Structures are given as C-alpha cells and as structure tokens.
Structure 1
Amino acid sequence: MLNLKLEFEQMIKELNSQSQQEVYKLRVLTAESPILFAGIDTVNMNRQLYIDLGFEPWEPDQLKALPKWRGLSIKIEYYEKLALLKGHHYLVLRQESEHGTDIFEVVLQNVVDHLITRDQNESVFTVVYKVLDRWRVFFQKGGYRKLTEEQQRGLFGELWYIQDWLNRFPTAPPLIIEQWEGPTSGRIDFKHSNRGVEIKTAINKLTKTIKISNENQLRLTNAVSSIYLYVCFIEPSKTHGVSLHALVNEVRNQIASRSDRMLLKFNDLLEDLRFKEEDYTDDFFFVDKVEVYEAATNFPRILQEDLPKGISHVSYSIDLTHCMEFERDVDEVFDL
C-alpha cells in the first residue's frame, strides 16, 4: 500500500536540494478517482492532503458536518489548474499545528487508505466522514494510551488466535478479521455465524483459572448458540517469547499478503484500542500451551437470571480443572 510518510520525506528531500523553493510542494499519490495529492507548506513544513472532487463542490452543509479537532483545518478550494486537471474542486485537509506531525501523518494515511480501498458505491464524503469521526473519538479519549498488563495479555491472546487461524488456512481470505469484535467491546471476541469464540489467557497453568467479565459473556442465545473458550497459557518474560509489537507485525504481514481491505480493518481495530505498537517492544510472552473448552449448556457459569434482583455486572473466575468434560480438541474451534 502507498506509504504517505515516505512520500512526505521524499518531498522534503527534494525541497532541500532546490535553490529556489515553491510556496507549496505537491506530489501526485493516485491516478484514479479520487485523484489525491500530498502537499507540504514550505514555510512551516505542515502536511496537507488534496482530494479531487471534480467539477462540482460539496454542499456547504456537507463541509460543515465533517468532524474536526484542533490542529486540523478542512476547506474546499477551487483551482483553475492543478497538475493536469483544469477547473476542479478539492477537499483540502491541512495540518495547522507545528506539533503532532507524526500522528497527523497517520491520520492522513488512514484517509488515503480508505479512499483507495473504498467500494465504488460508497461516496468520497461517506468515507472521509467515517475516518475523521473515528479519529475525532480517538482524540476525545486522549489519544494513544498504554494498555494495562491484563489488557496486554488479553490482546496477545486474541492476536495469537488470529495467527493460529491464518496459519491453518494459508490460502484463505483473512475473514477472521471481520469476525474480530474484541476491540469494539463486543460480547464475544470472535463471532462467525451463530458461533462465538472467547479468548482467555491464564498465567498459572497449575490452577488453570480464567476470568469471566460479566454475567452475559457466556450466555447462549439464538444469535450465539455455541461458545468456545480458546485458552492460552502464557508466561510473561523480559527475555523470552514474543512481544506484542512483534506479534502485531507478524499478523499484519500475513494479512497484507492476502487482502489490503482486511489489513486496513486490522489497523483500524488496533487504533480503536488506542494501541501504539512501539510501546510494547520490551515485554514478552511465552505460550506454553493452548486448550479449548466448549461452554455448553451445563458448563459452569453465572447468568443474569441466577443473580438476586438488583445485582449486575458480576465478574467471576472459573477453575478449568473442574471442566474436563467440556474440553475439546483445539482443531474443533477452527472447524467451520
């Protein structure tokens, strides 16, 4: 996929080698609709993205509706001639702060990726709105954050399951990413058809205890009539195993070789978690083994109807040593 950061770096190199600088440095990114240009304000080196709208501008209400935040300006500008295009209107996203260039490049990269991979029946306005709205929520929540140790273990387990799936189906489209609901606070981490897979991690393999977050997590319904627990027994380490940073890159590379669209969704889900992978290079996890349990009707669990009136949001632990009758072969969880 197009690497916008490298495009900006190349533009800056070209500017530094020129004896006479332009006011704006532009670079064509795509030759297909919508045609995109990367731009740099040569005075302050702020980044810009130009999105070709054709001969007709958007309605004022559309421009006004686009999500915004401090440091971003959005305008529609008309150019008699920009490159080989005459009389076109452009949506221009401009960096208005000298700080935060790295994250602004990530935002623009996300906009470009979604525009390049958009469905033909999806309008440019819809795509831009969705992307900017996700980033507005991201900044409202405070931007990137460091996951707690428990959250790191949970994400590691979900990524380990994704990698396991990708390894078992090396030629299949990576539709497992469409089934991943963990980052969006879904009740079940992975859901396909009417079956759910909940990922759990356990540190002490002797006690084999897992945590259930609430009384609805293992509820069987018409929509989710079977639930499997994919349990990773892991050991944290400072020297051995796989870091979250490395595992994310391994999974990303496998997805990238199969589907640009699924790669984009994978990256979006990580952004939803406010996950900055560079923060997770020093801690490692060693996976000792994986076990699978079917949370069938008689599986030990607490349900809402079991609780006294007025009691809710109950978390509890399950000792898997008492659940041997529900243990299944690991292959079963991947049989669709």
Structure 2
Amino acid sequence: MINIKSIWENQKPTGEVIIRTRIDEIPHLNCFAATNHITGQHLYIMSVSKNVVIPELKNYRFKGVEIYTLPIEPEDKIEFYIYLLDNELKVIFSLFIQNILEDIEPSVTESEAITTTLNVVSKWKKMFDKINFNGLSLEQQKGLIGELLFLNYLLNDEKTSANAVNAWTGAEMEFQAKDFTLGAVGIEIKFTSSKQPRIKVSNERQLDAENLSDLFLVLYSTEAVKDNGFSLNSLIAQTRKVISTDEERSIFNSKLQLNGYFDEDSEHYGRMYSLKKTFGFAVTSDFPKIVKNQLPLGIYDTSYSIEISAVESFIVEPENILAKV
C-alpha cells in the first residue's frame, strides 16, 4: 500500500524550493509527492504527455486546495498539480491524495489516470466545501455530538473498539455513506433535545438500506442542562483520550475537521446536555421511511419526521445491533 503521508514526512531538503519524490509503486505513471521547502505546503504532481486532454479546471478548485497545470516545454509534457494551500488541512489532504493514488493504480493510460483523478477530486470537493471555517451551527453540533456518543460506545466495546474510528463513515466522501459502517451493517445516528422526541430524517438516502445486510437507527434523547452534563468539547476530549494509537487519533482529528470542527472554535461548543434515553431501531423493509426508489422522477433531498410511537415495534437494544456486526 502506498503511504503518501510517510513519503512527505521523510522528504529531505535538496536545495530546490519544491522537493519531489517519485511514487515508485505506480511505475507506469509519473506521479510525485512534493513539498514546498519554504512554506511546508504539500503537493501532488502528475506528469503526462502534452497530448493528454485535461479539461478546464476552474470547477474542480475548492477551499484550501489549488489545482492547475503547467507546460514543461523541453520534454513536451504537462504537469498536473494539486497544491495544499492551508497547512491545517494536511491530514485531510493526505487522505485525499491517498484516495487518488489507490484509484489510479489500475489505470492503463495517462488519459485514464487523469479522468480517474478528476472523478476523485469531484467527490472530495463536496467534502472540502462542507468544511465550515466559521464554526458549527447548533444543529450541526447536535449531529456531531450524537455521532461521538455512538463512537464512544464502539470504542468501549471489546468487539468493535479496534475498528471504531474507521467505522465512523458519516463524513466520508461517498454520497450514500451512513454515519457508521461495520462490514455490511449500517447505522444512522440521531440526536434530539426536544421534550417530545422524534426522528428527523434529512433526505431519502439516510434510511436506504441498499447494499447493506442490516440498517439500524440510534436516537439519543437528551435535555439541555447548565452543568453536570456532557458537551461537544468534553466528548471530543474523552474520545481522544480513549483512542489507543496516534494514527487513529490523527484519523479521528481529520474526520472532525471534515465535520467542520476546529479546536480554535471550541469556546463556542460548551453547551451541555444530559442523556435521558437511547432508542435503537431496526430499519427493516416495513419501517416507515422514504427512500429514493419511492420518489417520483425529479424529486430529491426529501426531509421528514417520524413519530416514536409509530416505530415502537422496531425497537432493538444497542447490544443487539453489535451482535449483527
């Protein structure tokens, strides 16, 4: 497996502004991991023939990253650059470039590799554009708190602890990703502080069990408190403490950033909650829901609410969810 992060970490000054290392694991393509020696910014470079058609790149640019090409005249080459502008996003950028390398490795031609690269860029653009540098809204905070509660539940269970951070897939680029994916089991997380709890579903994909053997929904019912509760900040500190390795902690921190959480905004995330009840539901074919294949052509992003009383027959205990993993 190509470890792009390790390549960057091991690069030594060469006297050039841009230090580059060829990625030998893909010998049929000219790919390089590079670093700006002055600024410390990372780059990914692919050198291709000038005959390779590269589309207009303005629609592929996004927050914290610049994408462009440069002609290399003597060699009749074009160099395709993905340049990290914001060093705070280094961990996310490593995952992004790692994904490109894994996807282009089977490519036969340079043209195929460029097309595959731009497809990966398009997916990650959605995630980078979701990063909110102005802080999380209250609803976003609640959603993240719910996912962290379940992540800690996985971390504290011997069966799932080792894979818990990787199982947190809600912020990943795949459009259909569930909040947590454990093998073929998907889990959606909901969090409410309403006095009359209900399940709020944001779109027709959330409760769609396509490509899954089982889908579960977990609802945390809470109430806001002034003290003696948990907050987004306290859950993040607790999670970092429980995670056992530096590598997993790094992945966890990158996923927090993809969710829009940055430590410098922590002063805004002290609101506290107390857990009243945890509901678990098996989202079977009979569970009341709206999914994509039920919608008329042209209708999408359908949000709706489900009354708890309507789904009481689908309640399962959290430990029964893990029994399916």
How does the TM-score come out when normalised to structure 1? 0.59
Checking the alignment, whether the CA contact within 8 Å between 2:207 and 2:291 is kept in structure 1 is no
Matched, 1:294 2:291: no
Matched, 1:39 2:36: yes
Q: CA deviation at 1:283?
A: 2.4
Q: CA deviation at 1:161?
A: 0.9
Distance 1:200 1:93, change over 3 A: closer
The residue that corresponds to 2:270 in the other structure is 283
Residues 1-336 of structure 1: pairs in structure 2 closer than 5 A: 36-41=33-38, 46=39, 48-49=41-42, 57-60=47-50, 61=52, 67-68=60-61, 72=66, 74=68, 104-112=86-94, 119=102, 121=105, 133=122, 136-137=125-126, 144-169=133-158, 173-174=162-163, 177-178=166-167, 180-181=169-170, 186=176, 188-192=178-182, 195-204=185-194, 207-213=196-202, 217-218=206-207, 223-224=211-212, 226-237=214-225, 239-248=227-236, 250-251=238-239, 257=245, 264=251, 269-281=255-267, 282-288=269-275, 289-296=277-284, 301=288, 303=290, 313=302, 315-320=304-309, 324-335=312-323, 336=325
Q: CA deviation at 1:331?
A: 0.8
Distance 1:126 1:173, change over 3 A: farther
Distance across 2 between alignment mates of 1:110 and 1:228: 28
Distance across 1 between alignment mates of 2:241 and 2:71: 38
Checking the alignment, whether the CA contact within 8 Å between 1:209 and 1:319 is kept in structure 2 is yes
The residue that corresponds to 1:14 in the other structure is none
Checking the alignment, whether the CA contact within 8 Å between 1:27 and 1:38 is kept in structure 2 is yes
**In terms of Rg, which structure is larger?**
1
| SS, match of residue 174 in structure 1 | helix
Gaps of 5+ in 2: 26-30, 73-77, 108-112
Distance across 2 between alignment mates of 1:91 and 1:50: 10
Checking the alignment, whether the CA contact within 8 Å between 1:173 and 1:258 is kept in structure 2 is no
| SS, match of residue 199 in structure 2 | strand
Q: Look up the equivalent residue of 1:244 and give its one-letter code.
A: L
How many aligned positions are there? 295
Distance across 1 between alignment mates of 2:81 and 2:274: 47
The residue that corresponds to 1:20 in the other structure is none
Distance across 2 between alignment mates of 1:324 and 1:171: 27
Q: CA deviation at 1:104?
A: 1.6
Q: CA deviation at 1:203?
A: 1.7
Checking the alignment, whether the CA contact within 8 Å between 2:215 and 2:282 is kept in structure 1 is yes
Q: Look up the equivalent residue of 2:265 and give its one-letter code.
A: D
Distance 1:133 1:185, change over 3 A: closer
Q: CA deviation at 1:332?
A: 0.8
Deviations 1:66-91 (A, max 9, x none): 6446984745698xxxxxxxxxx987
Distance 1:170 1:24, change over 3 A: farther
Q: CA deviation at 1:228?
A: 2.6
Q: Which moved more, 1:159-168 or 1:271-280?
A: 271-280
Instruction: Say what the alpha-carbon RMSD is for the aligned residues.
Output: 5.4
Q: CA deviation at 1:242?
A: 3.5
Checking the alignment, whether the CA contact within 8 Å between 2:193 and 2:223 is kept in structure 1 is yes
Distance across 2 between alignment mates of 1:128 and 1:216: 26
Checking the alignment, whether the CA contact within 8 Å between 1:145 and 1:276 is kept in structure 2 is no
The residue that corresponds to 1:100 in the other structure is none
Distance across 2 between alignment mates of 1:330 and 1:293: 9
Distance across 1 between alignment mates of 2:291 and 2:127: 33
How does the TM-score come out when normalised to structure 2? 0.60
